């Protein structure tokens, strides 16, 4: 046990050295420029749509070379400059002391009143989080390399045994709650030990996941069952990707039939704009979209009650998604989105209960899996 | 006339005259009319038409009386080269009358320290209308027609039956004359009822009038015999009404003091003002908070406060029934206005009738006078060459005698005058107030933040030289959401009525103030914290009426007025612009300065760099990048590091201590304030010496007292003035001295005068400044 614990920590040290040197490099640049009478500037790769490239060959989103200057002596960026610097020193502190902290913890650590004023360095965590992402991309270091973790979000259950920071986790014995997916699931923290599952079924929300778990779907169908509480966080996506790449398990998604569901699928598959720099670690290009499909209203003979009207915003969003480069040339998806628009209503996974409490777990998903009726 | 008649002849026009004729008394014959025809004395005419002279109603009568007497006093002092010291006393002779009375009996006394009047002239000056030294000449003076003071005496006589009482002391060595005279309106001559000598000048009685005067007498500041070695005192009893507000004696004196910074005025108002207070007058606007604390201010007010003894209470409409305070308007400059010269009429300004009259007079004056000589002698700007050119053009020789010029020739000459290309009349006949004096006058009277003045070159209307000056005061305590106030002057005399008929008012409206970042509704004066002053100096101000209330609307005059206003407007515009820029810059600097301490510390924590050194290096950069915030403002927005007094001509900028900022949230947050306040405090502290006073803007520093704002909001205050804690463990460097540059005291400032106001950056917001009333 002790050995198991030592190993990763030795590894961490190696990585930490690298991260530390990057942070020091950043600070050196600031002090050198300043003392040399030049204005200190951070060059921060931009996490915007315009700086996001679609790598068709790899099927993922990648971050471009675009960088935004963050000079100190500019009204718009002065505060951010300070915040970046503060977080730099916070992270160095974390690494030095060998501890990790949550995003919120880091926010609190760096939050204080600016000397001589009543102004806070950070007012809200919403101000702090993007600065950390800035640092990730600027330093080229991942969040876990910065010793920062997010709240656990997402749950797993299924025919797999894994090791989480030295403790063995048996996915088959997780009761009704499941195993919370940590925000850092890198190989030095999580190792896969034994896996019989043939695929992963990823559902959108905890409520749906509960249905599948209660019906022992993973046992019946020999799979792993996960959810990401809506838009899956990085930890969840990373774990899915590792399951997909290391264990070669297909990832099958069951999401709502609405633009949001489509978007979640898109993020799982290609990566997101704001985390484009991590796409190669997070995106699962062969993830499959099983449902709910626009055609299901008729195919499954669902009742009027399942319909939720599309809002104007939904329509707009659907059209935007249809125009994504990775959906644009995809006939199936164009048809799917058009179907949604033609329907004029959305459907949630839970709505399947309309056909029977376990209709979705006992009939809908197994049949579709068997028929390989999915979009990818 | 019956209804049927009407029906028969519906043409009323035809029937009416008939009936009227039948009822009318026999018409007057030429003879009967002739019996009634007789001379009308000027006095009689004006006694009936007193509204023409400004005695329309009791309130205005009181004002006009004061005004005429003060104008005469000022003119006399200036002509004699004496710095005027004028005391105005209004006594209420019926203090017990019911509050509802429309008018009451007052005694107006105006005492000056002028040259006095020789005995034999007293009757003429005070007892006759249209008698004076000023009507016949083209010289810049306040009075023009010689109507004023005698009309006032006449009005007094008519309404109270009491004669005018005159004390005049033309010589420091001999006793004063005491004369009482009543005007006979029929003969336009004075009747002397009392003629004696007295040693009681200035009359000692006045010193004991109120507690205020007694206090001043003790200090030797009220009708001091040392000041009034010669002089004249005129007392007129009249039916009047004392009421504050627009068009009041108070306003008149206040404005007169602005336009005559070289004069000192003392005003003893009656113990009782009319109950029907209307406006809160004038240039200062009391604020509720101020009013409450007014008595407290009194204690701290010192020599700069004009309200010596008892400072004025901010005028509060409902309460002011008692005005115990004597007001003193101190002298702001120690130089008399330049002496003006009398000039001959300019050919282009003359009218045909007058030309004919002049020709006739010349003939009598000097038999055998040639036209050639006449032209040169009696007109300005006519040289020998142009005189012979005129003669040639009208077909006469240079030998032609004036007597031989017939009507036709005269008319020809008149036409030639109009077409002539003579140089404009000389301008040494005009004594402008001057930019510096205007500023000092405005500063004395208006509590604002920014003052600008401009004095135009002389110009000509109808052959008469005139000169326009304008000044504006902006910001400070002036109300920001009302139409601006326009104050008008002609030859240093304030014009209080008929504003909209006045050329100057039209000029204000026609000027596009939007160009200078002010709001201006269409066809109206600008709206904002603004007072506009316009002064016209001329040998002959074209008034619209005898009561001298509005300047006639000549294009030439209005054009000059607009140009003067535009000049002031530009200065204001560039100040506002600059202020905005400075504000932005100072906000920038504040932001940078706030953050660099944090950055230096964080950087130090990462790579161990010397935080202090890094901080300093960043500070240098921050300063460099926001250098503009350190600049002093000058009138044209030029960068002035060490201002040369010449560059400041035409503007005064009052420094605002930023920490006076009221409760409203500052846009960029308080940190800025702390540094500002600290800076301002140390800056001001140099002059004010006392820390408690440092919150006052510089100019008011001498009259400063503990800020009421401070007392009102102790928590806010202390938070803001706290020096910011060290930004770094390693002590941030103190600000280099260049950070708080101060303007030198202007050389022009008279001894004991306020220090020159200056401006350092202000963190935005116009901050109302509290100080005791200036009046």
Burial label, B255 (beta-carbon count in 10 A; 0-12, 13-18, 19+): buried
Q: Are B684 and B760 in contact (CB under 8 A)?
A: no
The arithmetic mean of pLDDT across residues B253-260, rounded, is 88
Which pLDDT score is estimated for B104? Answer: 87
Asked if residue B202 has a cis previous peptide bond (ω within 30° of 0), the answer is: yes
Contacts of B602 in chain A (CB under 8 A): 27, 82, 85-86, 88-89
Question: Is position B282 within any domain?
Answer: yes
How far B301 CA lies from chain A's nearest CA (Å)?
A: 35
**pLDDT band, residue B496 (cuts 50/70/90):** confident
- Paired tokens of B699: 């100019």
Which pLDDT score is estimated for B95? Answer: 79
Which pLDDT score is estimated for B760? Answer: 34
List, for residues B19-65, the tens digit of each pLDDT value: 444 556 677 787 777 777 766 666 677 767 777 777 888 888 898 88
The arithmetic mean of pLDDT across residues B551-580, rounded, is 88
* DSSP 3-state of A166: coil
Domain coordinates in residue numbering, chain A = 2-38+75-149, 155-371
B595 part of contact set with chain A, CB < 8 Å: yes
In a mutational test of the A interface, the residue from B584, B591, B595 whose CB has the highest number of chain A CBs within 10 Å is B595
The arithmetic mean of pLDDT across residues B534-552, rounded, is 84
Question: Per-residue pLDDT for B118 more than 80?
Answer: yes
Contacts of B622 in chain A (CB under 8 A): 73
Question: Per-residue pLDDT for B688 more than 60?
Answer: no
B612 part of contact set with chain A, CB < 8 Å: no
CB contact under 8 A, A115 and B607: no
- Paired tokens of B610: 């010397």
B119 part of contact set with chain A, CB < 8 Å: no
Angle at B544 between CA B539 and CA B550, to 5 degrees: 80
CB contact under 8 A, A115 and B669: no
Which pLDDT score is estimated for B649? Answer: 56
Contacts of B625 in chain A (CB under 8 A): 73
Contacts of B675 in chain A (CB under 8 A): 116
Say which range, A201-205, A282-286, A364-368, B341-345, has the weakest mean pLDDT: B341-345
Higher pLDDT, A126 or B754: A126
Which pLDDT score is estimated for A200? Answer: 92
Angle at B37 between CA B34 and CA B41, to 5 degrees: 165
Q: Are B668 and B590 in contact (CB under 8 A)?
A: yes
CB contact under 8 A, A116 and B597: yes
How far A113 CA lies from chain B's nearest CA (Å)?
A: 10
Which one of A23, A26, A75 has the shortest CB-CB distance to B591?
A: A75
Same domain, B217 and B72: yes
CB contact under 8 A, A73 and B592: yes
Q: Which of B623, B631, B643 is nearest to B575 (CA)?
A: B631
Question: Per-residue pLDDT for B653 more than 60?
Answer: yes
Which pLDDT score is estimated for A230? Answer: 86
Buried b (16+ CB within 10 A) or exposed e, B89-128: bbbbeeeeeeeeeebbbbbbbbbbbbbbbeeeebbebbbb
Contacts of A24 in chain B (CB under 8 A): 606-607
Which pLDDT score is estimated for B713? Answer: 35
Catalytic (active site) residue A108 = yes
Same domain, B355 and B272: no
How far B460 CA lies from chain A's nearest CA (Å)?
A: 54
Question: Is position B22 within any domain?
Answer: no
Which pLDDT score is estimated for B130? Answer: 58
> Could you say which of A108, A265, A297, A324 is catalytic?
A108
Q: Give the separation between CA B472 and CA A76, rounded to whole angstroms.
A: 37
The phi and psi torsions of B177 (rounded to 5 degrees) equal: -85, 140
Domain A155-371 has CATH 3.40.1360.10: yes
Same domain, B277 and B353: no
Query: For chain B, what is the radius of gyration of the CA atoms?
Result: 32
Q: Give the separation between CA B514 and CA A364, rounded to whole angstroms.
A: 73
Contacts of B588 in chain A (CB under 8 A): 75
Q: Give the separation between CA B694 and CA B311, rounded to whole angstroms.
A: 22
Same domain, B138 and B68: yes
Same domain, B386 and B271: no
Contacts of A71 in chain B (CB under 8 A): none
Which pLDDT score is estimated for B425? Answer: 79
List, for residues B360-408, the tens digit of each pLDDT value: 888 888 888 888 888 888 888 888 888 888 888 888 887 888 888 888 8
Which pLDDT score is estimated for A160? Answer: 92
How far A89 CA lies from chain B's nearest CA (Å)?
A: 5
Which pLDDT score is estimated for B617? Answer: 85
Which pLDDT score is estimated for B734? Answer: 39
Which pLDDT score is estimated for B774? Answer: 32
B617 part of contact set with chain A, CB < 8 Å: yes
A146 part of contact set with chain B, CB < 8 Å: no
Helix ranges, B608-661 (H) = 611-625
Q: How would DSSP label each residue in B712-734? A: H-HHHHHHHHSPPPPSSTT-PPP
Say which range, A258-272, A317-331, B116-130, B546-560, has the weakest mean pLDDT: B116-130
Average pLDDT, chain A: 86
Burial label, B407 (beta-carbon count in 10 A; 0-12, 13-18, 19+): exposed
Question: Is position B158 within any domain?
Answer: yes
Q: What is the CATH number of domain A2-38+75-149?
A: 1.10.10.10
Which one of B606, B669, B728 has the shortest CB-CB distance to A92?
A: B606
Which pLDDT score is estimated for B129? Answer: 63
Number of structural domains (chain B) is 2
**pLDDT band, residue B545 (cuts 50/70/90):** confident
Which pLDDT score is estimated for B754? Answer: 38
Name the percent of chain B lying above pLDDT 90.
7
Which pLDDT score is estimated for B200? Answer: 84
The arithmetic mean of pLDDT across residues B272-284, rounded, is 47
Nearest CA in chain A to B626: A73
Angle at B681 between CA B675 and CA B686, to 5 degrees: 135
Contacts of B726 in chain A (CB under 8 A): 115-116
**pLDDT band, residue B185 (cuts 50/70/90):** confident
Q: Give the separation between CA A127 and CA A124, rounded to whole angstroms.
A: 5
Which one of A26, A31, A116 has the shortest CB-CB distance to B671?
A: A116
Average pLDDT, chain B: 70
Query: For chain A, what is the radius of gyration of the CA atoms?
Result: 23
Which pLDDT score is estimated for B627? Answer: 66
Say which range, A22-36, A257-271, B572-586, has the weakest mean pLDDT: B572-586
Angle at A86 between CA A83 and CA A90, to 5 degrees: 135
Which pLDDT score is estimated for B248? Answer: 87
Question: Per-residue pLDDT for A142 more than 50?
Answer: yes
Question: Is position B395 within any domain?
Answer: yes
Name the percent of chain A lying above pLDDT 70.
97
A92 part of contact set with chain B, CB < 8 Å: yes
In eight-state DSSP terms, residue A120 is B
The phi and psi torsions of A111 (rounded to 5 degrees) equal: -85, 125
Question: Per-residue pLDDT for A124 more than 90?
Answer: no
B591 part of contact set with chain A, CB < 8 Å: yes
Asked if residue A292 has a cis previous peptide bond (ω within 30° of 0), the answer is: yes
Q: Identify the CATH number of the domain in which residue B192 sits.
A: 3.30.565.10
Question: Per-residue pLDDT for B290 more than 80?
Answer: no
CB contact under 8 A, A117 and B671: yes
| Angstrom distances, CA of residue A169 to CA of A158, A214, A247, B92 | 11, 19, 17, 104
Question: Per-residue pLDDT for B157 more than 70?
Answer: yes
Q: Are B108 and B90 in contact (CB under 8 A)?
A: yes
Burial label, B729 (beta-carbon count in 10 A; 0-12, 13-18, 19+): exposed
List, for residues B401-446, the tens digit of each pLDDT value: 888 888 888 888 888 888 888 887 777 778 788 888 888 888 877 8
List, for residues B309-340, the tens digit of each pLDDT value: 333 333 322 222 233 478 888 888 888 888 77
Angle at B709 between CA B705 and CA B714, to 5 degrees: 110
Q: Give the separation between CA B766 and CA A324, rounded to whole angstroms.
A: 52
CB contact under 8 A, A119 and B606: no
Count other C-beta atoms under 10 Å from residue A253's C-beta.
Answer: 27
Query: Number of Cβ pairs closer than 8 Å across A and B?
Result: 107
- Give the residue from B387, B419, B451 where a domain finishes: B419
**pLDDT band, residue B628 (cuts 50/70/90):** low
Which pLDDT score is estimated for B534? Answer: 93
Question: Per-residue pLDDT for B651 more than 80?
Answer: no
Question: Per-residue pLDDT for B470 more than 90?
Answer: yes
Count other C-beta atoms under 10 Å from residue A22's C-beta.
Answer: 17
Question: Per-residue pLDDT for B666 more than 60?
Answer: no
Question: Per-residue pLDDT for A318 more than 80?
Answer: yes
Say which range, A219-223, A308-312, B378-382, B653-657, has the weakest mean pLDDT: B653-657
Which one of B595, B613, B674 has the shortest CB-CB distance to A82?
A: B595
**Residue A54, by phi and psi: left (phi above 0), alpha (psi -120 to 50) or beta?**
beta
How far A29 CA lies from chain B's nearest CA (Å)?
A: 10
Which pLDDT score is estimated for B87? Answer: 92
Which pLDDT score is estimated for B532? Answer: 92
Name the percent of chain B lying above pLDDT 70.
67
Same domain, B280 and B381: no
Which pLDDT score is estimated for B547? Answer: 66
Same domain, B352 and B282: no
Q: Are B300 and B703 in contact (CB under 8 A)?
A: yes
Alpha-carbon dihedral angle through residues B236, B238, B242, B247, given to the nearest 10 degrees: -80
- Give the residue from B404, B419, B434 where a domain finishes: B419
Say which range, B109-123, B181-195, B595-609, has the weakest mean pLDDT: B181-195
> How do strand A190-195 and strand A160-164 relate by DSSP bridges?
antiparallel
- Paired tokens of B188: 């336009």
Which pLDDT score is estimated for A76? Answer: 79
Identify the domain containing residue B166 by its residue range. Answer: 46-286+322-329
Which one of A73, A92, A118 has the shortest CB-CB distance to B669?
A: A118
Which pLDDT score is estimated for B259? Answer: 87
Nearest CA in chain B to A72: B592
Contacts of A119 in chain B (CB under 8 A): 594, 669, 671
The upper half-sphere exposure of residue B86, i.e. CA atoms within 13 Å in the direction of its Cβ, equals 34
Query: What are the CB-based long-range contacts (under 8 Å, 24+) for B311-319?
Result: B311/B772, B311/B773, B312/B773, B312/B775, B313/B773, B314/B284, B314/B286, B314/B287, B314/B290, B314/B773, B315/B244, B315/B277, B315/B280, B315/B281, B315/B282, B315/B286, B316/B280, B316/B286, B316/B291, B317/B277, B317/B278, B317/B279, B317/B280, B318/B277
Q: Give the separation between CA A185 and CA A53, rounded to whole angstroms.
A: 26
Helix ranges, B161-311 (H) = 211-218, 249-259, 288-300
- Paired tokens of A29: 């640049």
Q: Identify the CATH number of the domain in which residue B396 sits.
A: 1.10.8.50
- Paired tokens of A232: 């899956």
The arithmetic mean of pLDDT across residues B731-759, rounded, is 37
In a mutational test of the A interface, the residue from B587, B589, B603 whose CB has the highest number of chain A CBs within 10 Å is B603
Which one of A26, A72, A116 has the shortest CB-CB distance to B727?
A: A116
Question: Is position B68 within any domain?
Answer: yes
The arithmetic mean of pLDDT across residues B673-682, rounded, is 37
How far B739 CA lies from chain A's nearest CA (Å)?
A: 19
List, for residues B74-94, the tens digit of each pLDDT value: 888 888 889 999 999 999 888
Same domain, B72 and B221: yes
Scan for tokens 């002739």, then name that residue. Answer: B34
Question: Per-residue pLDDT for B751 more than 50?
Answer: no
Question: Is position B638 within any domain?
Answer: no
Which pLDDT score is estimated for B566? Answer: 92
């Amino acid at each position: 046990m002790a050995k198991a614990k030592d190993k990763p920590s030795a590894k961490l040290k190696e990585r930490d050295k690298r991260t530390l040197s990057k942070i020091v490099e950043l600070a050196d640049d600031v002090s050198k420029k300043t003392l040399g009478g030049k204005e200190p500037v951070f060059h921060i790769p931009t996490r915007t749509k315009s700086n996001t490239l679609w790598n068709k060959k790899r099927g993922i989103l990648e971050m471009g070379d675009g960088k935004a200057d963050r000079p100190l002596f500019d009204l718009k960026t002065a505060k951010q400059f300070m915040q970046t610097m503060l977080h730099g020193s916070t992270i160095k502190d974390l690494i030095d002391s060998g501890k990790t902290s949550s995003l919120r913890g880091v926010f609190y650590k760096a939050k204080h009143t600016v000397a001589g004023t009543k102004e806070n360095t950070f007012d809200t965590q919403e101000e702090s989080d993007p600065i950390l992402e800035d640092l990730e991309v600027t330093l080229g270091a991942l969040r876990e390399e910065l010793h920062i973790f997010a709240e656990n979000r997402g749950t797993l259950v299924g025919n797999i045994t894994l090791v989480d920071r030295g403790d063995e986790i048996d996915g088959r014995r997780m009761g009704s709650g499941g195993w919370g997916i940590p925000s850092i699931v890198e190989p030095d923290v999580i190792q896969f030990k034994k896996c019989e599952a043939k695929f992963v079924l990823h559902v959108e929300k905890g409520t749906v996941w509960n249905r599948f778990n209660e019906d022992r779907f993973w046992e019946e169908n020999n799979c792993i069952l996960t959810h990401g509480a809506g838009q899956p966080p990085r930890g969840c996506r990373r774990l899915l990707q590792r399951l997909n790449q290391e264990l070669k398990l297909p990832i099958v998604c069951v999401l709502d039939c609405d633009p949001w569901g489509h978007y979640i699928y898109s993020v799982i598959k290609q990566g997101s704009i704001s985390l484009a720099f991590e796409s190669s670690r997070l995106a699962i290009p062969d993830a499959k979209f099983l449902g709910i499909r626009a055609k299901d209203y008729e195919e499954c003979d669902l009742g009027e009650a399942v319909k939720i009207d599309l809002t104007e915003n939904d329509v707009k969003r659907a059209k935007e998604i249809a125009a994504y480069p990775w959906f644009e040339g995809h006939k199936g998806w164009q048809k799917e989105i058009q179907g949604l628009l033609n329907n004029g209503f959305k459907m949630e996974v839970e709505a399947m209960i309309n056909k029977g409490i376990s209709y979705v777990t006992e009939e809908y998903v197994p049949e579709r899996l068997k028929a390989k009726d999915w979009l990818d | 006339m019956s209804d049927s008649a009407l029906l028969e002849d519906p043409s009323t026009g035809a029937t009416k005259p008939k009936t009227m004729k039948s009822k009318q008394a026999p018409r007057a014959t030429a003879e009967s009319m002739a019996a009634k025809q007789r001379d009308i004395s000027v006095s009689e005419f004006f006694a009936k038409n007193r509204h023409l002279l400004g005695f329309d109603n009791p309130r205005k009568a009181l004002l006009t009386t004061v005004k005429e007497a003060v104008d005469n006093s000022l003119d006399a002092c200036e002509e004699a080269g004496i710095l005027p010291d004028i005391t105005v006393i209004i006594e209420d002779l019926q203090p017990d009358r019911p509050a509802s009375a429309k008018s009451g009996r007052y005694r107006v006394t105006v005492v000056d320290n002028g040259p006095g009047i020789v005995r034999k002239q007293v009757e003429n000056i005070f007892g006759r209308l249209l008698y004076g030294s000023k009507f016949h000449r083209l010289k810049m003076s306040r009075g023009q027609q010689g109507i004023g003071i005698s009309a006032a005496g006449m009005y007094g006589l008519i309404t109270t039956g009491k004669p005018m009482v005159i004390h005049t002391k033309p010589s420091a060595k001999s006793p004063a004359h005491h004369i009482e005279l009543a005007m006979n309106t029929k003969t336009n001559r004075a009747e002397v009822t009392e003629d004696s000598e007295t040693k009681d000048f200035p009359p000692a009685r006045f010193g004991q009038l109120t507690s205020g005067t007694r206090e001043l007498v003790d200090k030797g500041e009220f009708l001091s015999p040392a000041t009034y070695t010669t002089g004249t005192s005129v007392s007129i009893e009249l039916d009047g009404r004392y009421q504050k507000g627009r068009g009041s004696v108070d306003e008149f004196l206040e404005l007169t003091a602005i336009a005559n910074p070289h004069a000192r005025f003392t005003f003893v108002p009656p113990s009782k003002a009319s109950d029907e207070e209307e406006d809160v007058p004038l240039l200062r606007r009391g604020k509720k908070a101020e009013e409450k604390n007014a008595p407290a201010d009194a204690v701290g007010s010192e020599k700069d406060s004009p309200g010596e003894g008892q400072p004025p209470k901010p005028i509060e409409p409902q309460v002011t029934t008692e005005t115990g305070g004597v007001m003193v308007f101190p002298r702001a400059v120690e130089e008399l206005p330049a002496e003006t010269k009398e000039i001959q009429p300019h050919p282009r300004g003359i009218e045909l009738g007058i030309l004919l009259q002049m020709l006739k007079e010349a003939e009598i004056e000097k038999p055998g006078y040639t036209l050639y000589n006449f032209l040169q002698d009696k007109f300005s700007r006519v040289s020998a060459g142009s005189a012979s050119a005129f003669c040639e053009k009208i077909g006469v020789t240079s030998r032609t005698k004036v007597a031989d010029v017939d009507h036709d020739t005269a008319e020809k000459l008149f036409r030639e005058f109009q077409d002539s290309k003579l140089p404009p009349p000389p301008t040494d006949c005009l004594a402008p107030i001057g930019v510096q004096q205007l500023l000092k006058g405005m500063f004395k009277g208006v509590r604002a933040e920014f003052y600008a003045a401009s004095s135009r070159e002389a110009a000509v209307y109808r052959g008469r030289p005139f000169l326009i000056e304008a000044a504006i005061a902006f910001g400070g305590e002036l109300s920001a959401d009302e139409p601006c106030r326009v104050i008008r002057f002609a030859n240093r005399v304030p014009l209080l009525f008929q504003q909209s008929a006045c050329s100057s008012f039209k000029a204000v409206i026609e000027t596009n103030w939007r160009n200078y970042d002010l709001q201006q509704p269409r066809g109206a004066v600008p709206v904002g914290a603004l007072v506009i002053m316009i002064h016209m100096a001329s040998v002959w101000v074209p008034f619209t009426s005898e009561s001298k209330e509005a300047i006639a609307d000549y294009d030439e005059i209005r054009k000059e007025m607009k140009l003067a206003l535009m000049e002031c407007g530009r200065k204001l515009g560039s100040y506002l612009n600059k202020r905005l820029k400075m504000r932005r810059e100072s906000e920038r600097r504040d932001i940078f300065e706030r953050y660099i301490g944090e950055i230096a510390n964080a950087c130090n924590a990462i790579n161990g760099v010397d935080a202090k050194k890094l901080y300093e290096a960043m500070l240098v950069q921050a300063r460099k990048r926001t250098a503009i915030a350190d600049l002093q403002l000058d009138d044209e927005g030029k960068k002035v590091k060490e201002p040369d007094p010449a560059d400041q001509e035409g503007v005064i900028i009052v420094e605002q201590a930023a920490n006076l900022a009221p409760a409203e949230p500052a846009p960029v947050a308080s940190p800025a304030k702390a540094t500002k306040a600290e800076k301002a405090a140390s800056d001001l502290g140099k002059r004010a010496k006392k820390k408690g006073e440092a919150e006052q803007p510089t100019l008011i520093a001498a009259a400063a007292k503990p800020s009421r704002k401070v007392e009102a909001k102790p928590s806010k205050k202390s938070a803001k003035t706290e020096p910011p804690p060290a930004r770094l463990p390693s002590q941030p460097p103190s600000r280099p001295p260049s950070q708080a540059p101060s303007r030198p005291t202007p050389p022009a400032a008279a001894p004991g005068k306020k220090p020159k106001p200056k401006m350092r950056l202000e963190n935005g917001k116009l901050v109302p400044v509290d100080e005791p009333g200036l009046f």
